[in-house]
């Protein structure tokens, strides 16, 4: 085998053989295939696609590149959740302790930001002392003691995906459905969870811009999970508008704590509860009431214990950016659009995301939203507050927001989009 022939096969719209897939994943994991060569193959896959058999084999090869975990010794049923990524999508933060408070074990392996979408680990690392990297023994210990853990996949778990995940972020290949499906499912299957709920985003702020592509991705992943014995369900959810009122690492942690305290934005609470119910149902805990766990403080208790178990201080002050810039309403009327992609790119440019895989992120960078679509606004009213440590970024971020905010005349009817669009099982 040689990598050039593998690239040419997919470049010329051919079908990769099982042998080609097994070889290229193994060789890339070992460092025998260079990043620029895998970048070329990833772009060819994005442009020309893969059939179901190719995706299944690619996923199996990713799993085979490392170890598999086993949670059968835990006294609770396991349930996990994965989001395909969005703007302001901090749902994992309140969701994991909430589901744990209801009796399930949540082994949540999460990632870092991809492109304009935020990363769960980047958000949690804004908490002083919190550690994303845990050994398998540490992860099992937190699961036994707390019931929920959010951490990075270990080096032994699908190591091929760890390399390819970072590469996709900086080579314009994030949106490839075969690569998204295999990346997510290789980690989740190798992780060993008994059930999995997928939050597949659709809209301007998602990698899947239209519902048909999102449904295709959801069906592909549900099929991969089912074939490997993992009870898998997917929800298609709206990402045309950012979730909640914040986009950025520490900003989103603050908002997540508000949700766990019984408050927070209505859309974040609604989606958190919808996913919690799906996870509990898949885990066989149909009678559990996640809304009650938010009200009675048990979800917050599990959050504090989870953060402390991973070295974090749940009472510590979160980082705050040194500089702010307020964007005001240009006219009075009804805010009828706040484009998720524009907000996500602006937050990324402020320092909340990374342009290269080795780049750091600013914990305090991001955007606060003071109004959401459907709200009445007056000229000069604050709409957005931009946060960054580096004020020279403001101009670049403001350019991303051009055309992303629409204010219609007063009295304009606004029909909100439902958050959950479809369920695929």
The catalytically annotated residue of 183, 186, 195, 256 is 183
Confidence of residue 156 (pLDDT cuts 50, 70, 90): confident
Contact 134, 310 (CB under 8 A): yes
Note whether 3-49 and 80-309 share their fold: no
| pLDDT classification of 175: cutoffs 50, 70, 90 | confident
**Is residue 115 pLDDT above 90, yes or no?**
no
161 a catalytic residue: yes
The DSSP code for 9 is H
Q: Is residue 252's pLDDT more than 90?
A: yes
pLDDT mean over 147-159: 88
**72 belongs to the catalytic site:** no
387 given a catalytic annotation:
no
| Beta-sheet strands, E only, within 321-408 | 323-328, 333-338, 366-369, 376-377, 382-388, 405-408
Axis-axis angle for helices 177-191, 211-227 (nearest 10)? 30
Dist CA 368 CA 375 (whole Å):
15
Query: How many Å from the N-terminal Cα to the C-terminal Cα in the chain?
Result: 38
Instruction: Determine whether domain 80-309 maps to CATH 3.40.1030.10.
Output: yes
Predicted confidence band at 100 (pLDDT cuts at 50, 70, 90)? very high
Q: Which CATH number does 3-49 carry?
A: 1.20.970.10
Residue appearing with tokens 């082994």: 107
Q: Give yes or no: 68 in active site.
A: no
Catalytic, out of 10, 82, 231, 277: 82
Residue with tokens 């750091």: 360
113 — pLDDT class (breaks 50, 70, 90): confident
Structure tokens at 403: 């055309």
Instruction: Tell me, yes or no, if 302 is annotated catalytic.
Output: no
162, 187, 188, 305: which one is catalytic? 187
Return the percentage of the chain with pLDDT > 70, whole number.
99
Predicted local distance difference test score (pLDDT) of residue 259: 98
Distance CA 175, CA 77 (A): 33
Mean pLDDT of 296-320: 98
Give per-residue pLDDT as tens, 309-321.
Answer: 999 999 999 999 9
Highest mean pLDDT among 100-104, 112-116, 163-167, 173-177: 100-104
* Residue 121: CA count within 13 A, CB half-sphere: 15
Q: Check whether 278 has a pLDDT greater than 70.
A: yes
Q: Where are the alpha helices (DSSP H) in 228-334?
A: 249-260, 266-282, 290-295, 298-309
Reported as a pLDDT band with limits 50, 70 and 90, residue 87 is: very high
CATH of domain 323-408: 3.90.1170.30
Indicate the DSSP class of residue 117. Answer: B
User: For residues 195 and 79, is the Cβ–Cβ distance under 8 A?
Assistant: yes
Q: Where are the domains of the chain?
A: 3-49, 80-309, 323-408
The SS3 of residue 382 is: strand
pLDDT band at 214 (very low <50, low <70, confident <90, very high): very high
What one-character DSSP code corresponds to residue 200? Answer: E
Determine contact, residues 267/244, Cβ cutoff 8 Å. Answer: yes
Dump pLDDT digits (tens) for 343-402.
999 999 999 988 776 788 999 999 999 999 999 999 999 999 999 999 999 999 999 999
Question: CA neighbours within 13 Å on the CB side: how many for 390?
Answer: 13
Q: What is the DSSP letter of 423?
A: E
């Amino acid at each position: 085998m040689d990598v050039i022939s593998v690239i040419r096969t997919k470049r010329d719209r051919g079908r990769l053989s099982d042998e080609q897939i097994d070889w290229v994943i193994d060789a890339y994991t070992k460092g025998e295939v260079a990043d620029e060569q895998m970048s070329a193959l990833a772009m060819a896959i994005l442009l020309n696609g893969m059939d179901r058999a190719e995706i299944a084999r690619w996923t199996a090869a990713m799993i085979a590149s490392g170890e598999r975990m086993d949670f059968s010794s835990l006294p609770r049923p396991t349930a996990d959740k994965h989001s395909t990524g969005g703007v302001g999508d901090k749902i994992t933060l309140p969701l994991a302790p909430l589901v744990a408070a209801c009796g399930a074990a949540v082994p949540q392996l999460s990632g870092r930001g991809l492109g304009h979408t935020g990363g769960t680990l980047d958000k949690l690392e804004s908490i002083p002392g919190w550690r994303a990297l845990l050994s398998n023994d540490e992860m099992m210990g937190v699961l036994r003691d707390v019931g929920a853990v959010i951490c990075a996949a270990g080096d032994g778990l699908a190591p091929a995906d760890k390399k390819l995940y970072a590469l996709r972020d900086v080579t314009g290949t994030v949106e490839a459905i075969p690569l998204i499906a295999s990346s997510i499912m290789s980690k989740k299957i190798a992780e060993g969870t008994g059930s999995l709920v997928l939050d597949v985003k659709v809209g301007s702020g998602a990698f899947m811009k239209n519902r048909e592509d999102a449904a295709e991705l959801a069906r592909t992943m549900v099929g991969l999970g089912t074939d490997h014995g993992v009870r898998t369900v997917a929800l298609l959810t709206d990402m045309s508008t950012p979730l909640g009122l914040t986009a950025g690492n520490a900003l989103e942690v603050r908002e997540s704590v508000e949700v766990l305290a019984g408050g927070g934005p209505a859309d974040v609470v609604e989606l958190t509860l919808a996913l919690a119910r799906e996870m509990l149902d898949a885990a066989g805990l149909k009678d559990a009431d996640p809304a009650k766990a938010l009200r009675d403080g048990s979800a917050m208790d599990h959050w504090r214990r989870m953060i402390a178990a991973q070295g974090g201080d749940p009472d510590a002050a979160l980082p705050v950016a040194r500089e702010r810039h307020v964007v005001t309403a240009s006219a009075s009327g009804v805010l009828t659009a706040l484009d998720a992609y524009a907000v996500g790119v602006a937050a990324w440019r402020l320092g909340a995301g990374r342009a290269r895989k080795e780049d750091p992120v600013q914990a305090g960078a991001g955007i606060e939203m003071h109004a959401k679509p459907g709200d009445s606004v007056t000229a000069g009213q604050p709409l957005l507050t931009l946060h960054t440590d580096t004020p020279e970024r403001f101009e670049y971020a403001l350019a991303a927001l051009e055309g992303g905010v629409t204010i219609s005349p007063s009295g304009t009817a606004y029909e909100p989009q439902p958050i959950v669009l479809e369920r695929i099982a």
